[in-house]
């Protein structure tokens, strides 16, 4: 039984060492860091702006009801 586990362990180690990431987002960070970071900042500030404007809309609706 121990021999089988040893074979599985060595096979998994070989698979992990040859794995290559092929994500396009990862390629933006490794190939062109400026575009990758710019994309992240745009996403972050877009979500931040949506949350702020939604909060302001909720507050104005709350004040109108009072």
Q: What is the pLDDT of residue 47?
A: 97
Residue 66: its H or E element: none
pLDDT of 10 > 60? The answer is yes
Domain range summary for the chain, segments of one domain joined by +: 33-66
- The confidence score (pLDDT) of residue 44 equals 94
Q: Measure the CA–CA gap between 23 and 15, rounded to whole angstroms.
A: 18
Q: Higher confidence at residue 10 or residue 39?
A: 39
Give 18's DSSP letter.
Answer: T
For the segment 23-60, what is each residue's pLDDT rounded down to a tens digit?
666 666 667 778 778 888 999 999 999 999 999 999 98
Please tell me the predicted confidence (pLDDT) of residue 32: 75
């Amino acid at each position: 039984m121990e021999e089988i586990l040893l074979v599985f362990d060595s096979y998994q180690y070989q698979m992990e060492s040859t794995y290559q990431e092929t994500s396009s987002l990862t390629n933006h960070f490794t190939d062109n860091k400026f575009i990758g970071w710019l994309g992240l900042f745009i996403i972050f500030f877009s979500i931040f702006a949506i949350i702020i404007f939604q909060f302001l809309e909720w507050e104005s609706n709350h004040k109108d009801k009072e």
